[in-house]
Structures are given as structure tokens and as C-alpha cells.
Amino acid sequence: MTDDAIIEEPELQRFARLAAPYLQRAATGGHDPRAARDRPGSGLEFLDLRDYQVGDDMRHIDWRQTARRQRPVVRRFRSEAAVDWFICVDGSASVGLHPAKWAMSIRLASALAYTCLFAGHRVALLIFSDRIKARCDLGRGAHQYPRLLNLLLAQQADAPPTAGNGRTSLMTPSHLKTLPVNRSNPGLCRDYLSGNSNVFIISDFLQPDGMRSQLRSIQSIVSSTAILQVLAEDEVDIAATGLTQLRDVESGRERQVNLSDQIKSDARTALRTHRNDLHKDCLSLGIRMTSCESGQHWQPALLEHLRIRL
Amino acid sequence: MSGFFHPLWLIALAVIPLIRWLHRWHAPLSSWPVSAVFLWGYTTSNESAGHRKDEPEPAWRRRALAAALLITALAGPYLSTETRTLSVWIDDSLSAFAIENGNSRIAMMFESLTEELDSNDVPWDQITLRSLTKPGKARPYGGADSFHPVDWRDAMETNLDENAMPILTTDSNHWLLTDGASAETQTWAARVYLGRIIQAGTATENAAITRLAARRSVEDAKTFDVLISVANTGVATDERRVTLYSGEEQLQTTRLSLAPGQTTHWQVRAAATNGSLTASLSSTDPLVDDDDLSISLARFEPLATRIEATCGPALWRALSAHPSLAIVDATRTAALAVSCSQDGFAEAGSSEARIRTLLGSARPVSSPPAWFASSGSGNNLGLAVDWISATQWPPRQPGDRHDVLLATTDQPLVVVHAGESGSSTIIDTVIDLNHPRFIQQAEYAAFIAALVDIATGRTLLDEAVTVSREARHSVIAPTLLDTRVRPSKPVHQVTYKPLSTLFLAVAFLLLLFDAVVLLRARMGASHA
């Protein structure tokens, strides 16, 4: 499965040259006019003052200004480091249910990592489901990409329990009752993020709330957040007809539906509505979001994402 | 209209809620893991609760419908159609053919019926004309032009029988066309419910020849003693001329005064030369069909008899002397055959009556012969023991059945093989019919004549031929019946068309469809 997810390096290089200019804008959310180096971060050169916020380093409190303004004020320093990218990849069962989705996620993550490294940024990788399944710390340079790639290829998305080889297999109700509850939770990545980092989350976001609360939590502590929704082409296509028991591979919730053309059409509509609603909410949160399908080519999908302006 | 033959079966429809309830436990045919179950409709959903579902499997409707159809089929649904039918009973007895004013009574009845139907506003769906003398005879009513009295004339020979009057069905309205002359019809009409009685005919006077009988004269075998009975069934004294014909030849005539309700007899001796005798009444009454009677004289012709030469002269002479027998040679067809054989009775191959005797050493009988009850005219014939000798009976054939006519205490002497269907009577005797003392007795000829009578089933020595009709059937004087229109009952002939088969077929197709759906779902799930 993972072999077809590997992108040849020359192709990655060509893409990196094309996409690198868009990375800076992506890192600042696309609306910060300052250069990357003018962004606040860890460094020695003073940048500006601002009110203290929870989580700020106590050592950076400017006591003189605090006394003058009668409220805690911290000093910010011009960032001397390169931009840090945290690529968070959803490896939950809902992705594993459709192998093409996982392959597409690997391609997007590896291409993005390569592009970031090509631009001299530091890149970290987190693979999450209901836990952090794998992690690669921040790093830069030529040695970082193989590490990231090996980590991606070594991981598998959580596989849904199957009675055969199919991604949608016939299962008896007894099988279904033993399905594990395996909710995808990107909020777990929050513990590994730092304030000046940029987060790129690749997931299907197929949860009733679209993982909005976790995204909001991450967005509150990072410099920028971007999400790329990967959906399978046959996300809601089921070959069965008649009365069928459906079970969510992550939540374990069951639903009995009488599968008809109308019901299937309604499910496709619900998927579109879910994606559009998520897109609107991301816009309001200042989160860059695009969607792609597993059958698409990764390159235009990723380029479109990087080009987008908020 | 529709209904059910066995509506109690419909109580079983109460199982339909049970079918729905049972389908709540139905496990789905297939189960599929999905990445986001919340995308699927909520209308039939129920969160995980084992196999139990609040909403039944949708197929319950199809199966409940099939069960309902089966139960309905058991209840015997039907479609019924009502037909207003009218049965018109036609009194087609003899009196209905009396002619009045140039028209027969039966035609007058039918004209009245046509007028009545034309003026009646009841929309009859079917009108059937039925014979009262032959209830099985029916004709559809086709209007005034369709009725011909001659069509009903064949029933004239059948008299009304009080015990064979028709029983009226309750699914039809019944009318009666009658002249009111028949007592049987009057009794019947008073007993049954008739919606309408149409009566025609007013004439009362009629005379009829009720009997014509003939027998050979004792004095002269070529003449006949004839008895003619004439009945006056009218209400007034009448005088009629009665004429006796032989063929077309008038033999004798006389004038009789007939008292009302009385029968007058006329005895006459006539020498008939043609083959029939006819007594005819001068026709001045409305009913001419009862004014003559005829008999055939063929019955008095000598019976062709064949006798074998081995039988001996005594027997031949006795048969030849019989006035009603004519001896014919062996080549001609005979109605009676007499055979005598040595070893056993000759085979009875022909359909003629047969008398068979045995020849051979005969021994005197030990006791006087006695006649049995079935021996007919032989009962009065006494046979002395010393006249009779008999041979030994040959071995009996298996299945041989006979009745003994004459026997001693030791053995039967004369037996009869009763004529079964298609075969003639056969008389077997072991009496020596050439016994020297027996053939000299006068009883010998009488004995032979008795055997001939038994074999032929007739009384050949003094046969009488009679034809007659009952005088009461010639009564044409009508009794006034109640011809008022009775309130017609709402009688309909209901035709039922059962629909159970249709319901069963639909239920079967529904179950078949359900099975196909089930099979396809299972196959689709297994292929996936």
C-alpha cells in the first residue's frame, strides 16, 4: 500500500521549487505583511511589547512597563529561528477504512515536508488517532526528510476490523459489537506544539463536529493552522441494498438503514454539507482549508492549498 | 356485491400486528463498517441496542400483506351478482290443448303471459318456460313469436302426477299458466308460492273414450269381443256417436247417451280384418285429443314356434294344437323354440324363448309332483304320479341360477332360468314328455300350454289387449283459481364468483417476490 504513496525525489524537487514561495504566506496565514523574520519568536533582538497572555514565559515580563501600565506586559523578540512546521497526519480507523485515503495522506505529508525542508524550515511529524501513534521531532536539513518518510511509511492507519479483505466487508452483528472505539483526536498534538509553530493537519475530519473544538484549541496556541481534508472517492458508496447495519469504525455507533438509492444520495449530500460547513467555520477561525479526494493527484491538491489566500 | 363464505377466518388478521412486532427482532442481512455513520439518514436509525430494533424491518409490510391475503383467501371472498329470474310453469296437461274459439288453451295462456309481461315493469333478467308435466323440460322465453303449442304437445301423453309435481326453487320467481281443469294443478298451486297465476279457458263439456279392450271370441276365433268405455267429464248430459273401425273400415257404430261424470260401456263383437281396432267418438267437444283410442291386433297373431324332430310326435301334436302357436320349420325365425336332446340341455344361443327337455331312460317319480308359487297358470294343473317319469338332471354349470317350478320330494322336474336383461326365458324339464300314459291325458296338452305361457310370459290361450286413459285427465271444466297478483318476494338468483384463488395467487407472487429480494440481498452481501 505504501509503495504507491512514495513520490520520487525529482518530482518532489520540482514541486518544492514551485511551492516554496507560497510557504511563507502559508506560514503567516496569508495576511501577515511582515517577513518571516519579523515575526515574534525566540531570539535576542527586541521586537515589541504586548500584554501578558497565559503561557507566556515569565522571564519575558517587562517589569518596568508592567509597573507603568498597571498590567503584565511581556517583551517579544524578533524570531531568529526558521519557521517550524508541524505536520499532523490522521492515522485513525476512518482513514484506514479506505486505503487510498491513507496513501494520499502520506503523499501530501511527504511532499509538504520536503517542500518545507527545501525552504530551510524545520519540520516535525505527528501521526495521531485516539493517541499519538508516532512522532518525529523538529529537524531540518537533508537528513530530516528520510526520517520523516520512514516514519510515515512505517505507520499504518488504524485498520477497521474486517471479516475478509475488503474495506467494506460483510460482518455479522457479533463482529460489529467487538469493534473498538477509536476516535480521531488532533487535539492530542497540542502538547507538542509551540507558540511560533505552523500546523498542517491532514485528516478526513469525519466527525459530527468536524473536530472544530480541537482545531480551535490548536489555533489558539500556534502561529498558523492549515487543514487539508482528504476524502475517499467512495466515502459513502456501499454495495449493499436493503436493510443494513452500519457501524462507525471510530465511534462504534450503529445505525440500521434500509439502503436505497435515495438514502445513498442523501448520504452524499450530507457529506458535501459537512465539508462546506467545516470550510465556513475554518474561514471564520482563520484556518486555511481545502479538500481533496484520494483519487486526485497530490500535486495540484497541495499546490491549490498553498496558494489559497485567507 | 362482495362478501366472505367463512368470515370468521378474518379474525386471524389480528396476527398482522404480531408480524410487525416479530420483525423488530429481525437482524439485518448485512453489516457494513463506515467511516462516518452520522452521514446516513436518521429516519430508521436506532443507536446500538443489540438486535432489538424499535422500528421493524421494512419487509414486514410485504409479509403482512401476504399473510393478510392468505387469511382473506381462507375466509372465502366472493363477488356475487344478482339475477332476477322468472320461471313460468305451463300446465301442459291434456286439457290445455282444448280448442276454444279456434285457439288452444295453451296458446291463450301464452298470449296472456305476453300481455302480462309487457305490462309488468319488472326488469326480468331471465324468463324460463317450464313444463308442469315434465319439469325437466324448459325453454327460454323469447317473446310472443317464439311460442308454438306444438312444442309442448309431446307432454300431452304424460299425465300430471300429484306425487311428481315440481318443487319450486327459492332463487327464482314462479308464475303458473293453467286452465284450472286439473285437480293436481289446483292442489299444487295451493301448496306453493306463485307470484302470479294466469288462467285461460272456460269450456266445460267434454267426452272421452277412456278404454278400448279386445279379446278373441270364444265361439269364433276370427272375431273379437270388444269393450269400449266412454266417459262424460262435462257437467251436462251429452249424446255421442261411437264408431269402431278396423283400419279405415268402419265395423260398427252406435249412439250413446252419456250422463255427466259417468262412464258408459259398449260391448260389441267384430270381425277385424285389418291390423288394428280404433274406437272413435263423434267430435263435438273442445278437446279432440281424447276422442279416440286404437289397439294393434298384431298381438293376436300366432306365435312362430320351432320344434326339433327328436322331440317325438306327442309333443309336436300338442304344440300344433295350440291355437296361438304356429309351427314353423327350422330355417325360419321363431319366437319360441322347443328342443329335445339326449345327453344334456341344448345350448341356448338365440334370444328366443326356449323349452328344453331331456331324452333318455326315464324312471318313475316317487311322489306326486307339486307346483311352486311362480309357476303361473300351471298351478291349477294336477299331475298324477303314475303319469310322470323323469330322467336324471345333467351336471349343473357353475353360476347356473334357476327357479324350480315343479318338483317331487326327490328332485325338481321343471325349472325356469329367469330371463335376465337381454336374454329370453328358458324352461328346462326332465319329465319324459313321451310317457305313454301321460300323453293320453288331457292334462298333457294343458301342461305343454302352461310351459309355453311361462316361457313366453303371456297368456296365449285367452289374451286380451287393452288401452285406456283415466277419465279425470279429460276433465276440461276449469276451477277458478286465485289469479290476483301476489306481492312478489325480492327473489334473486345469486351467482357467486369465488376469489380465493386470486388472493392465493397474489399472496404466492408476493411471497415469491419477497424470496427473490431476500436472495438477492444475501447474494449481494456475500459477493461484497
Please provide the DSSP assignment of B3-46 as one string. EESSGGGGGGGGHHHHHHHHGGGPPPSEEEEES-GGGS-STT--
B123-153, pLDDT tens digit by residue? 888 889 999 888 888 888 888 777 888 888 7
- A20 and A52 housed in the same domain: no
- A188 and A55 housed in the same domain: no
Residue A163: pLDDT over 60: no
Is A266's CB within 8 Å of B41's CB?
yes
Q: Does A176 touch chain B (CB under 8 A)?
A: yes
The CA–CA distances, whole Å, from B252 to B27, B222, B270, B278 equal 109, 16, 8, 11
Q: Does A183 touch chain B (CB under 8 A)?
A: no
B359-418, pLDDT tens digit by residue? 888 888 888 888 887 666 667 788 888 899 998 888 777 777 788 889 988 888 998 886
The verdict on residue A68 lying in a domain is yes
- For residue B41, give the nearest of A207, A248, A257 by CB distance: A257
Contacts of A257 in chain B (CB under 8 A): 40-41, 44-45
B193-229, pLDDT tens digit by residue? 888 899 998 899 999 999 999 998 888 878 899 999 9
* Closest Cα in chain B to A95: B35
- Predicted confidence at residue A173, as pLDDT, reads 45
- Compute the distance between CA of residue B385 and CA of residue B367 in angstroms, rounded to an integer: 6
Chain B residues at the A interface, defined by Cβ less than 8 Å, are: 26-42, 44-48, 50-51, 53, 55, 57-59, 517, 520-521, 524-528
Instruction: Tell me the backbone φ, ψ of residue A266, rounded to 5 degrees.
Output: -65, -35
B4-27, pLDDT tens digit by residue? 999 999 999 999 999 888 887 766
A66-113, pLDDT tens digit by residue? 999 989 999 887 665 567 899 999 999 899 888 899 999 999 999 999
- Predicted confidence at residue B293, as pLDDT, reads 92
- A48 and A133 housed in the same domain: no
Please provide the DSSP assignment of B325-347 as one string. EEEE-TTS--SEEEEEESSSPPP
B504-513, pLDDT tens digit by residue? 999 999 999 9
Is B36's CB within 8 Å of A242's CB?
no
- For residue B33, give the nearest of A160, A206, A236 by CB distance: A160
- Predicted confidence at residue B488, as pLDDT, reads 63
The closest alpha carbon to B310, from B358, B364, B363, belongs to: B358
Mean pLDDT, residues A187-192: 90
Residue B182: pLDDT over 80: yes
- Predicted confidence at residue A81, as pLDDT, reads 54
- A261 and A294 housed in the same domain: yes
pLDDT band at residue A276, thresholds of 50, 70 and 90? very high
- A68 and A130 housed in the same domain: no
pLDDT band at residue A292, thresholds of 50, 70 and 90? very high
Domain range summary for chain B, segments of one domain joined by +: 2-81+496-527, 85-203+477-491, 207-300, 303-461
- Predicted confidence at residue B6, as pLDDT, reads 92
The verdict on residue A67 lying in a domain is yes
Residue A30: pLDDT over 50: no
- A119 and A232 housed in the same domain: yes
Mean pLDDT, residues A292-306: 91
- A215 and A290 housed in the same domain: yes
Q: Which amino acid is residue A273, in one-letter code?
A: T
Instruction: Tell me the backbone φ, ψ of residue B39, rounded to 5 degrees.
Output: -75, -15
- Predicted confidence at residue A165, as pLDDT, reads 38
- A90 and A74 housed in the same domain: no
The verdict on residue A35 lying in a domain is no
Q: Which amino acid is residue A265, in one-letter code?
A: S
Residue B240: pLDDT over 50: yes
Q: Which H, E and C letters describe A157-204, residue by residue?
A: CCCCCCCCCCCCCCCCHHHHHCCCCCCCCHHHHHHHCCCCEEEEEEEC
B297-322, pLDDT tens digit by residue? 888 888 999 888 888 889 999 999 88
Contacts of A161 in chain B (CB under 8 A): 33
The verdict on residue A235 lying in a domain is yes
Is B36's CB within 8 Å of A271's CB?
yes
* Closest Cα in chain B to A241: B521
The verdict on residue A176 lying in a domain is yes
C-alpha cell at B117: 309481461
- A151 and A237 housed in the same domain: yes
- A88 and A57 housed in the same domain: no
* pLDDT above 90: percentage of residues in chain B: 27
Residue B457: pLDDT over 90: no
Provide the CATH number for the domain formed by B303-461 in this structure: 3.40.50
The verdict on residue A33 lying in a domain is no
CATH number of the domain residue A254 falls in: 3.40.50
The verdict on residue A173 lying in a domain is yes
pLDDT band at residue A43, thresholds of 50, 70 and 90? low
The closest alpha carbon to B212, from B196, B231, B188, belongs to: B231
pLDDT band at residue B28, thresholds of 50, 70 and 90? low
Q: Does A94 touch chain B (CB under 8 A)?
A: yes
Residue B237: pLDDT over 80: yes
Beta pairing, strands B85-90 & B99-100: unpaired
pLDDT band at residue A261, thresholds of 50, 70 and 90? confident
- A73 and A175 housed in the same domain: no
Is B34's CB within 8 Å of A170's CB?
no
- Compute the distance between CA of residue B114 and CA of residue B137 in angstroms, rounded to an integer: 20
Q: Does A305 touch chain B (CB under 8 A)?
A: no
* pLDDT above 70: percentage of residues in chain B: 90
pLDDT band at residue B172, thresholds of 50, 70 and 90? confident
- Predicted confidence at residue A3, as pLDDT, reads 62
- Print the domain residue range for A49: 40-78
Domain count, chain A: 2
Please provide the DSSP assignment of chain A as one string. --GGG---HHHHHHHHHHHHHHHHHHHTTT---S-GGGSEEEEEEEEEEEE--TT--GGGB-HHHHHHHTS-EEEEEE--SPPEEEEEEE-SHHHHTSHHHHHHHHHHHHHHHHHHHHTT-EEEEEEESSSEEEEEEEE-STTHHHHHHHHHHH--PPPPP-SSSSSS----HHHHHTPPP----GGGGGGG--TTEEEEEEE---STTTTHHHHHHHHTTSSEEEEEEEE-TTTT-----EEEEEEETTT--EEEEEE-HHHHHHHHHHHHHHHHHHHHHHHHHT-EEEEEETTS-HHHHHHHHHH---
| Residues shown for chain B | 528
Give whichever of A22-26, A83-87, B42-46, B70-74 has the largest mean pLDDT: B70-74
- A122 and A54 housed in the same domain: no
The verdict on residue A34 lying in a domain is no
The fold of the B207-300 domain, in CATH, is Immunoglobulin-like (2.60.40)
Torsion angle defined by CA atoms of residues B449, B450, B456 and B459, in that order, rounded to the nearest 10 degrees:
90
